[in-house]
Amino acid sequence: MTDARRCAALLLLAAPALIAADAQQSAKPQYAPIATRDFAVGPFRLALRSDTQTLARLSPAAEPGFSFVPTDREAERAGDGYNHIGDIHLRVRAPGSAWRDLDSAAARRPIRALPAAKTVIAAADITASLGTDSPLSVERRWVDEHGQLALRFTLRNVSATPVEIGVLGLPMVFDNIITDRTLDQAHAQASFTDPYIGRDAGYLQVTRLNGKGPALLVLPERGTPLEAYVPLLGPHERDGASSFADKSPRGQTSEGFYDWTVHSAGYVEREWKKGGEPWNAPTARTLAPGETLTVGVHLTPAPTIRAIEMTLAAAGRPVAVGIPGYVVPTDTNATLFVKAPTPIVRIDSWPAGAITATPAGTVKGWTRLSIRGAQWGRARLTLTYADGQAQTVSYVVTKPLDQTMADLGRFATTRQWYEGMGDPFGRSPAILTYDDEAKKIVDVEPRVWIAGMSDEGGGGSWVAAVMKQLDNPDAGEIAKLERLIDATVVGNLQVADGPHAGAVKKSLFYYDPAKFPHLYTGDPRQWQSWTSWKEKDANDLGRAYNYPHVAIGHWVLYRTARNHPDLVTRHDWRWYLDHAYLTVVAMMRDAPYYTEFGLMEGDVFVDILKDLQREGMTTQATEMERLMRHRADHWRSLKYPFGSEMAWDSTGQPEVYAWMRYFGFQPQADITREVILGYDPTIPSWGYNGNARRYWDFLYGGKYPRIERQIHHYGSALNAVPLFDAYRANPADLHLLRVAYGGMMGGITNIDQDGFSSAAFHSAPDMMRWDPYSGDYGMGFFGHAYAAGSYLANDPTFGWIGFGGDVREERGTVSIVPKDGARSRLFVAPAGQWIELEASKIAKAVYTPASGHIALTLDPASRGTTSARLFVTRTTGAGAAYRPSTGRLERGGYTIPLGAAPVEVDLTGR
C-alpha cells in the first residue's frame, strides 16, 4: 500500500475510532421491522427471517433478551450486501473457464420454501439469490438435531460439465458490534468470536464480553472443515478482488464478520497470491454433473468458557491441549494431549521435520505426544485419525529464550540505535522504530509519533530494550540506555524541571514544513491528516498513556542499579527511583483525564510504589498510594471500568486488576479476570492461544494500517499478567495458566532470528506475516519480561506438568529446570509459593510433595551480580509461609552471597 493510501485509510478509519461509544448517539434512520418466525431448539430460542430464512435471533432459553447475532440491527442490515448466518459464498468454474463468484447476500431474490419434515424446522431452495445461470443449486435446511441446532447446505451440480468449487464460505455473523453502545451495554450484549482453524477439528467459540456463560460453539459436520477464516471486507476495502463483502462498517467499534471457509484454493490466484503460508493447505472440490455435496455446522452451547473443551469432547470432537502451549523453543520439551473418538494413524509436519510429535503413552483417556521443535519459524502438525478426519495444530518454533532475549537487546541497541545524525528534534541518541522490510530506521513518518519516541507506536522499541535488562542485563546495552535517558528522555521527551517537571510529551518528531522544508518527502497529501501533529500538539503533556513508558525506563534502571551495582554508572539507584516517582506524580498532575482509565504497562506503578515502601521513602510512597487510591476508588464504582481513548479496549484491564488486588477489592478483580477471559482464549494454535483481542492498532503502529485481527499485538502479553496472578491465587484453575502462558509466549513469536521485533502478525489470509514495523511491540515485551517465569503444577488429569521448564519425576521428588526468558521467577503450585529473584537466576528447583520442601539451585556469580535477591510469597490461603535456609533479610527480601559455584538454597514452610 502506498503512503497516500495509508493516509487515506487512516483518515477513513482512525479518526472515527477516537469517538467514545457512548458519544455516538446521533439520530439514527428508522427502519421497518423485519418479519420473523420463532422456534425453540434445545437450549436455544431462535428466529428466522420470514423472507430469507436467515438467522435473526439466537438466544439462550434462560436469557431471551440476549442474542449471539446482531438482532438489534436486523432491520438496518436487512438489505442487499448484508450477510447473515444462513448465507453462502461460492467461487466456481467449469474446466478451462474463469472463476465466478456466487453470493446469496449480494442481491437477494425470493427463495423457494421447501417442506419442513421430521427434524427439519425450515428449508428453502436459495439458488435464485446466487444470480442467473448458476451451475449449482443450493438447498438450505435448519435442523433440530437431537436438541442441537444444525445448519446444512446441499449443493448439486445442475450443469452438463464438472464444476470446480474453489471457495465455499459460510458467513458467521455474530454480534461483535460496539458502535452506539456504552461499555456497560457492550459487555451485556456483544460477543467476540475466536476461531480454531484446525480443519475437521476446527470450531468457533463465541464468548460474551462480560466473560459469563453460556458460550456458543460452532462445530463442523462431516465434510465441513474449518480450512480458513476469511474476513468479509467492506465494499471500499476489496479493491475489486472479491465479490464477497459486507456493507456493515468496519472500524474500531466493529471488527466485522468472517466466513467459515471449507474450501479456499480459489483465493490463491487472486486475493492471496502475495500472502504467506495459510493456516492450512488450500483445497478445492469438483462436482460431476448431478453430483451433490452437503456441508453443515452445529451451534452448541457450552455452559462456561472454561467448559468449552469438555463440551467439545462430549460432542465427539477431537480435542487437543498443548502444555505449555504452542510456542516451542528448540531447547524445551512440550506435550500435546489429544482426546478423539478414533486413534491417530498418521502424524505429518509442515515443513517436513520442523516439529516432531512422538507417541508417549496415554493418561486418563488422553493420548500423549512429546513435542520437539527443530526448525525456527511457523510449523504445522497434521493428525490423521482412523475415521479419516484430519486435525491441524499450529506451532511456532523459536530459539532458546535466553538467545532470543540476547538477540532483541543486541538488535535494539545496534540496528535501531540512532545517534549523531544532526537531528533537529533532539532524538540523539535514541532507539527508534525500525522498518524490517526496508531495513532501515523510521525517522520520518506521517503518523509522527512512530518516529517520535513516544506514544506506543514510537516508544515501543526503546521500552523493549529497557525491559530486556530487567532479568537479562548487559553492561554495554545498559551504558547506551543510560545515555538515552540522560540525553534524550530527561530534558527533552520528559520535562526536567519547573512546574511541569516529570511530564511527558506526545512526540519528539512533528510536522513543520516551514521550519524543515526538505524533510517531509513523498506525496504531500499523506501529511495532511490529523496524524501529522504540529509542534504544539507534539509537545502536549496531557496523554497519560505516554507516562508508563518513561516510568519503566527509570524503574528498570533503578532495579538494575540496586541489584547489579557495577552495571549502572551515571546515577545511583535513588536518582532513578526518584524519577520514576516524579513521572507518576506528573501524570496525575498534567494528564489527569486519561488516568481515569487503566493504562497499558500500568502494572509498573504498583512495583514503583512497593519499591518506595521497601526503600523507606515513606513520604513519596504515601503520596503515590493516595493518588492511586483515587483511581482505584473510581474504578470500584463502575460495573465495567475498562474504557480507554477507544470505545472498547483490552489494555486497561491489567492495571485495573492490579490496583483492585493491591487495595483488596477482590470482587472487582474477579470481574476483571472474567472479562479478560471473554476476549482472551485458549485454542490449539500459536496464533490464537492467549491472543487478547486487538484489531485496530495496525492503524497507529504498523506499516500496513488496516482493520484486521492482530496476532499477538501487545494486548496478549499485557493481559497475561493478571491471569498469572489469578492462577497463583487459585492454582486449581489451570485454564488461567494456559491462557496466560499462551499470551506471554505469544509475544516472543514477534521476534525474528536477528532480533527484530514486529508490532504484530497480520492474520488476514492475504497477508499472513509479521508487520515490518517494530512500532508498539515494546508494550507487549513489557508484559513478557515482567511476567516471565516457570510454573510447576500437578494437574488431576495430566499429572506433573511444567510451564517454562522441563519437569522430571524421580524417587519421590519432582524437579523443574527453568528455560523461560528470565529464569528469575518460579511458582510451585502445590505449595502455593511464588519465588522471585531480582538478581541471579534459578538453575533448578526440586520439590518434595510429601514434605513440601523446595530446594533451589542458583547460578554462580557473574559480572554485576555478586548477590542474589530472593523473595518468597505465599499466594494461597492454605499455603505455609516459607523462608530460605540462608541469606540476610533486607528490604523485604533475602540477600544471598554468590560465588564461583552454584548456590543451594532450601525453602521450608513454617
pLDDT in tens, 31-89: 889 999 999 999 999 999 999 999 999 999 999 999 999 999 999 999 999 999 999 99
Please tell me the predicted confidence (pLDDT) of residue 421. 79
Compute CA distances 648 → 23, 179, 199, 693, 713, whole Å.
Answer: 13, 10, 32, 11, 16
Mean pLDDT (the chain) is 95
Yes or no: say if 704 and 697 are a contact pair by the CB < 8 Å rule. no
- What b/e sequence results for 130-169 when a residue is b if at least 16 CB atoms lie within 10 Å of its CB, and e otherwise? bbeebbbbbbbbbbbbeebbbbbbbbbbebeeebbbbbbb
Which phi and psi (to 5°) does residue 540 adopt? -60, 140
Yes or no: say if 374 and 810 are a contact pair by the CB < 8 Å rule. no
Q: With 60 as the cut, is the pLDDT of residue 7 above it?
A: no
- Model confidence band, residue 26 (pLDDT cutoffs 50, 70, 90): very low
- Provide the β-strand partners of residue 304: none
Q: 451-481 pLDDT, tens per residue?
A: 999 999 999 999 999 999 999 999 999 999 9
> In the structure, how many helices (H) and strands (E) does the chain have?
19, 45
Pull the grid cell for residue 866. Answer: 555478586
Please tell me the predicted confidence (pLDDT) of residue 241. 67
Residue 107 CB neighbours (<10 A): 12
Mean pLDDT along residues 496-519: 97
Please tell me the predicted confidence (pLDDT) of residue 243. 78
Spatial distance between the Cα atoms of 258 and 107, rounded to a whole number of angstroms? 19
Mean pLDDT along residues 318-347: 98
SS3 content of the chain, % helix, strand, coil (to 5): 30, 30, 40
Q: Classify residue 881 by its DSSP letter.
A: P
Q: With 80 as the cut, is the pLDDT of residue 861 above it?
A: yes
- What b/e sequence results for 796-834 when a residue is b if at least 16 CB atoms lie within 10 Å of its CB, and e otherwise? eebebbbbbbbbeeeeeebbbbbbbbbbbbbbbbbbbbb
Q: 129-166 pLDDT, tens per residue?
A: 999 999 999 999 999 999 999 999 999 999 999 999 99
Reported pTM: 0.96
Please choose, from the candidates 297, 296, 303, the residue with its C-alpha nearest in 3D space to the C-alpha of residue 60. 303
Residue with the three cell numbers 516508544: 459
- Model confidence band, residue 117 (pLDDT cutoffs 50, 70, 90): confident
Q: With 80 as the cut, is the pLDDT of residue 16 above it?
A: no
Please tell me the predicted confidence (pLDDT) of residue 32. 87
Please tell me the predicted confidence (pLDDT) of residue 17. 35
Please tell me the predicted confidence (pLDDT) of residue 236. 81
Spatial distance between the Cα atoms of 828 and 309, rounded to a whole number of angstroms? 25
- Model confidence band, residue 27 (pLDDT cutoffs 50, 70, 90): low
**Over the Cα atoms of the chain, what is R_g?**
28
Yes or no: say if 903 and 868 are a contact pair by the CB < 8 Å rule. yes
Spatial distance between the Cα atoms of 819 and 800, rounded to a whole number of angstroms? 17
Mean pLDDT along residues 740-750: 98
Yes or no: say if 702 and 759 are a contact pair by the CB < 8 Å rule. yes
Pull the grid cell for residue 572. Answer: 545511583
Q: What is the DSSP string of 799-843?
A: EEEEESEEEEEETTEEEEEE-SSS--EEEEGGGTEEEEEEES-EE
- Provide the β-strand partners of residue 319: 339
Q: Classify residue 468 by its DSSP letter.
A: H
Mean pLDDT along residues 554-570: 96
Across 158-162, 426-430, 524-528, least confident range: 524-528
Please tell me the predicted confidence (pLDDT) of residue 11. 35
Please tell me the predicted confidence (pLDDT) of residue 817. 98
Q: With 90 as the cut, is the pLDDT of residue 239 above it?
A: no
Please choose, from the candidates 284, 289, 255, 397, the residue with its C-alpha nearest in 3D space to the C-alpha of residue 333. 397
Please tell me the predicted confidence (pLDDT) of residue 403. 98
Residue 212 CB neighbours (<10 A): 18
**882-884 sheet: strands from edge to edge:** 805-810, 813-818, 842-848, 853-858, 903-909, 882-884
Q: How far is CA 28 from the centre of its chain?
A: 34
Spatial distance between the Cα atoms of 506 and 456, rounded to a whole number of angstroms? 10
Mean pLDDT along residues 812-834: 98
Q: With 80 as the cut, is the pLDDT of residue 242 above it?
A: no
Spatial distance between the Cα atoms of 722 and 597, rounded to a whole number of angstroms? 16
Longest dimension (CA), the chain: 87
Identify residue 588 by its one-letter amino acid code: M
Q: With 50 as the cut, is the pLDDT of residue 8 above it?
A: no
Q: 352-402 pLDDT, tens per residue?
A: 999 999 999 999 999 999 999 999 999 999 999 999 999 999 999 999 999
Which phi and psi (to 5°) does residue 67 adopt? -135, 140
Compute CA distances 825 → 513, 781, 815, whole Å.
Answer: 50, 17, 15
Q: With 90 as the cut, is the pLDDT of residue 283 above it?
A: yes
Q: Classify residue 78 by its DSSP letter.
A: -
**203-208 sheet: strands from edge to edge:** 112-114, 120-125, 136-145, 148-157, 292-302, 215-220, 203-208, 191-196
- Model confidence band, residue 240 (pLDDT cutoffs 50, 70, 90): low
Compute CA distances 851 → 836, 855, 871, 889, 910, whole Å.
Answer: 21, 12, 21, 25, 12
Return all residues near 439 (Cβ < 8 A) that are at least 6 apart.
Answer: none
Q: How far is CA 592 from the centre of its chain?
A: 28
- Model confidence band, residue 2 (pLDDT cutoffs 50, 70, 90): very low
Query: Quick one: what percent of the chain has pLDDT higher than 70?
Result: 96
Please tell me the predicted confidence (pLDDT) of residue 238. 67
